[in-house]
Structure 1
Amino acid sequence: MKLSEEVVKLKISVVIPAKNEAATIGTVVETVRALALDLEVIVVDDGSDDDTGIISSVAGAIVIKHPYSKGNGAAIKTGARHAKGDVLVFMDGDGQHDADSIVKLVDRLLSGHDLVVGSRQRGSQANVWRGTANRFYNWLATYMSGHKVSDLTSGFRAVRAEKFREFIYLLPNGFSYPTTSTMAFFRAGYSVAYEPIHVAKRVGTSHIRPLKDGTRFVLIIFKIGTLYSPLKIFAPISLLIFMLGMGWYGYTLSAFDKFTNMSALLFTSSAMIFLMGLISEQITMLMYKRSE
């Protein structure tokens, strides 16, 4: 790919979180460093039990080692704090991401965006379950933000460093940092774009555990809502309960000519949930005001 003059002159930091990726990390670092760009490669060794850190260092990366595993998101935050580049590129160390796609992401970033996410194309998902789950996350994020979200959970992304650091304190230590950072950028009014990419099958075993992480991903769905605009979650639930209360009241009024405790409970619950949404909305606004 022909490199634009802007991309060539840009200082780029490529941050690679890695845990027990000795089989692939050396090749990943070497292919990134082979690009004709002014870049530094930072590998954050998240408490690996193998030679991930040593291999990364030999391949030419700056290695920062966690004394124990803190999580993928924690590794991302460590790398971002140590990076010296104007642009941060995050990618996996398992060989799934093509280093050549870095140029496409950065070039798209320089066209006027603040965050560019590598959007995995059809056939790039690890399995049917994860593909279905990601499609649901994308739909929910699109509803919450009012913007088309092509790939909410992709970990291959390029971002302007100073803007990413505004939201470091919001990011979780686990695998959901892509979700949180994307929604934070939408909330702040920053420009987010998606660049189509293809990913290879990972080498080795995934660190994601279906049962435990499946439950965690369900919680992420609610976190997306409360992070971005809580009323979009609370208001529909409040309305649904209110309509149930009205329906039950209509039934008891016509059948027994009275107002029951169940109707009172439903109406009260509806009001409480709506008020909780209002309070959550105010807290969210204060949270983003702090980042500004």
Structure 2
Amino acid sequence: MTDSLSIIIPAKNERTSLPGVLDEIFSCCSPLEVIVVDDGSTDGTAAAASREGVKVLRHPYSKGNGAAIKSGARAARGDILLFMDADGQHDPQDIPRLLAKLQEGYDLVVGARGKGSQASIGRGLANKLYNGLATYMTGHKVEDLTSGFRVARAKRFREFLSLLPNGFSYPTTSTMAFFRAGYSVAYENIHAGRREGKSHISPLKDGIRFLLIIFKIGTLYSPLKLFFPLSVLPLLLGIGYYAFTYLSMGRFTNMSALLFTTALLIFLMGLVSEQITQLMYKEVGFEEKDADSGQGSGRQK
């Protein structure tokens, strides 16, 4: 590879697993730099990461997995950014395959977890739902929407930093943003093992957040493509109920009017959201010129 590589590892209370992950990284590849972002750990994670060849960034308090990703991306010097977890689920031996796939001309390569990868039944079903919805929205096969093991061209990834949330849904946001921008996305099969230590994901708290991902998928790509089918249901119900009341009572009822109004409002919400999404991507479509040019913002894509 002629491009320089930066490996970014967000970590929160991963003192036990992190040293082994770093050992495997240095044994399988020679990155330009390895950045460990300590997201407010209380167990000595930063000390466990301190070694030659590793840059450690520390958050004074926990800001979230996405915030750690953004801190690492801003500090990285490489032309290519590779993101992986610190809990031992991602095998560094898969890194060369992800990089090789990227060199085929892609802008983002995601490590797609196979059927044997460690995951609960509920999480597996949720991932299938997300993947199916994302496939429908983008028109492209999405094999793993939420995998955090991914490699991207730094220039492309930094365009969307302002869109990325601070929580755990940064993979979803970044994937949909790449599709929306027309960049090339590919998937490479990997095996995700059992994590070491306790998961930081709460089934109840983060389960509600993951439900919001479904709507975020739509708003990040094409809201109208999501809202239009939703508006069809009350429209059909309104037509059916109107036909029933007209034939049985010979009149138009308030319920039919309510259903028609609901369908119209949902459609208009999708239409307005579509325009907002376009403006949002137009705003992040500006990139900075080279630092040595001495200018701020550059041309629009």
Smaller-chain TM-score range?
over 0.9
What code does the residue aligned with 2:172 have? Answer: T
- What SS does structure 1 have at the residue aligned with 2:245? helix
Runs of 4+ in 1 over 3 A off after TM superposition: none
Q: Residue 201 of structure 1: which of 189, 194, 205 is its match?
A: 194
Q: Residue 135 of structure 1: which of 121, 128, 134 is its match?
A: 128
Q: Residue 218 of structure 1: which of 211, 221, 244 is its match?
A: 211
**Residue equivalent to 1:108:** 101
Q: Residue 117 of structure 2: which of 100, 120, 124 is its match?
A: 124
Structure 1 residues 1-292: aligned runs within 5 Å: 7=1, 9-58=2-51, 60-292=53-285
Which stretch of structure 1 is more off in the superposition, 126-135 or 75-84? 126-135
- Matched pairs, number: 285
Displacement after TM superposition at 1:68 (Å): 0.1
Displacement after TM superposition at 1:75 (Å): 0.1
| Structure 1, unaligned runs of 5 or more | 1-6
Q: 2: distance between equivalents of 1:238 and 1:95?
A: 44
Q: Are the aligned partners of 1:30 and 1:59 in contact in 2 as well (CA < 8 Å)?
A: no
Q: 2: distance between equivalents of 1:85 and 1:30?
A: 20
Displacement after TM superposition at 1:184 (Å): 0.4
Which stretch of structure 1 is more off in the superposition, 99-108 or 175-184? 99-108
- What SS does structure 1 have at the residue aligned with 2:152? strand
If the length of structure 2 is used for normalisation, what is the TM-score? 0.93
Specify whether residues 26 and 45 from structure 1 end up closer, same or farther in structure 2 by C-alpha distance, changes over 3 A only: same
Displacement after TM superposition at 1:212 (Å): 1.0
- What SS does structure 2 have at the residue aligned with 1:17? strand
Alpha-carbon displacement from aligned partner over 1:14-68 (angstroms, at most 9, x marks no partner): 0000000000111111221223424210000000001110110136410000000
Q: Are the aligned partners of 2:5 and 2:79 in contact in 1 as well (CA < 8 Å)?
A: yes
Displacement after TM superposition at 1:12 (Å): 0.2
Which stretch of structure 1 is more off in the superposition, 269-278 or 142-151? 269-278
- What SS does structure 2 have at the residue aligned with 1:119? strand
Displacement after TM superposition at 1:96 (Å): 1.1
Displacement after TM superposition at 1:253 (Å): 0.4
What code does the residue aligned with 2:267 have? Answer: F
Q: 2: distance between equivalents of 1:45 and 1:36?
A: 22
- What SS does structure 2 have at the residue aligned with 1:13? strand
- What SS does structure 2 have at the residue aligned with 1:152? coil
Q: 2: distance between equivalents of 1:187 and 1:156?
A: 20
| Structure 2, unaligned runs of 5 or more | 286-301
RMSD: 1.0
Q: 2: distance between equivalents of 1:103 and 1:112?
A: 15
- What SS does structure 2 have at the residue aligned with 1:100? helix
Q: Are the aligned partners of 2:29 and 2:96 in contact in 1 as well (CA < 8 Å)?
A: no
Q: 2: distance between equivalents of 1:202 and 1:79?
A: 22
Alpha-carbon displacement from aligned partner over 1:155-174 (angstroms, at most 9, x marks no partner): 00000000000000000000
Q: 2: distance between equivalents of 1:275 and 1:150?
A: 31
- What SS does structure 2 have at the residue aligned with 1:271? helix
